[in-house]
Structure 1
Amino acid sequence: MDADRARTIEGVSPAATLAEKVEWLIRNLWPPHAEPPRNNVETAAAIARATGEDISSTTVWKLRTGRQDNPQLKTLTALATFFGVPIGYFGFPGESGPIDDDLTMKALRREVENGAVRPEVLRALVDLSPQARWVVDEMILAAARADRARADHARTHPPAP
């Protein structure tokens, strides 16, 4: 599998927008010491508590939805600090390929450590023939697309109270 496809599996391609990168961090690299957020208010509060930087829920919402694509450096610094990523992760689209790879591997290692991905599954993947690995790659990519579409739909069409 080529590097661009590997990054796309996790939802952050080299051309990802700032909104896509922020959303990926929230979904995949939420710090284990912080309570998982249920909304933008809790997300902003967790970041503010951990970094001391006042960030509003409106700012989080704007970043996640792409309505703000040029935030202040202090906001990006708070996000980078909270998620443990280099500030360069938020660079211009297409410029953070190696960083994206490193973060994808960090997220995968955390999933293995938490038991969400079994190590024997990863070992089995390495042992597959190139043809079998291609089939698995395509299934993973399709599942990732379907999961993102479901999550996007849930975000834009919340259930009625």
Structure 2
Amino acid sequence: MPTLSEKLDTLFTTVRTKGREYTYEEVARGCSELTGGTFSKTYAWQLRTGQRDNPTKRHLEALAAFFRVPVAYFFDDDTTERVDSQLAVATAMRNADVRDIALRAMSLDDAGRKSLARIIHEVSILHATRPADDPQLHEPPDDEE
């Protein structure tokens, strides 16, 4: 399972503000305000990069509260996995195309959703087997008339 620094990195990269990552300063300030204690931007950086890996319970509680995850995220592998899955969905939903597909899929019946899932699966397989330098991977298909 991921290390503390990997878990923090996941939170930094997925829990965003105004379309960007929180800065170390914002995290430190938010954690200090939540706990009434001290929390420096250097300490946040050290935890994220793995230079420090044994924070106090109070610091972990502050980080969990700041990023709005349960404190068990840092201790329990099942909780980490569940939260990471939820964060992955939230991240995907930031993409307008993904959001459009999801919204359209909601209007389909079960058979339609299963068909769409099969199509997406097949496209994923095709995409995975193409060489990385295939120009079709980087350009939208031409519209056919």
Cα offsets for 1:78-137 (capped at 9, x unmatched): 01111111111111xxx413442234224523653x565633334499613275165278
Secondary structure in 2 matching 1:118: helix
- The aligned residue for residue 27 of structure 2 is 43
Q: Give the C-alpha shift of residue 22 in structure 1.
A: 0.4
Matched residues in 2 for 1:118 and 1:133: separation? 14
Matched residues in 1 for 2:4 and 2:118: separation? 36
Secondary structure in 2 matching 1:76: helix
Is residue 2:12 matched to residue 1:22?
no
Is residue 2:78 matched to residue 1:97?
yes
List structure 1 segments (4+ residues) > 4 angstroms apart after TM superposition. Answer: 114-117, 136-139
Q: Structure 1: which 5+ runs fail to align?
A: 1-14, 143-161
- The aligned residue for residue 129 of structure 1 is 118
Aligned pairs (5 A) from 1:1-161: 15-30=1-16, 32=17, 36-38=21-23, 40-91=24-75, 95-109=76-90, 112=93, 114=94, 116=96, 118-122=98-102, 123=105, 127-129=116-118, 131-132=121-122, 134-135=124-125, 138=128
Greater RCO (CA < 8 Å, at least 6 residues apart): 1
Structure 1 residues 46 and 137, CA, compared in 2 at 3 Å: closer, same or farther? farther
Structure 1 residues 52 and 103, CA, compared in 2 at 3 Å: closer, same or farther? farther
Secondary structure in 2 matching 1:70: coil
State whether residues 4 and 50 of structure 2, in contact with CA within 8 Å, keep that contact through their aligned partners in structure 1. yes
State whether residues 27 and 66 of structure 2, in contact with CA within 8 Å, keep that contact through their aligned partners in structure 1. no
Matched residues in 2 for 1:70 and 1:137: separation? 41
Q: Structure 2: which 5+ runs fail to align?
A: 106-111, 133-145
TM-score (norm 1): 0.56
TM-score (norm 2): 0.61
State which structure, 1 or 2, has the greater radius of gyration over its C-alpha atoms.
2
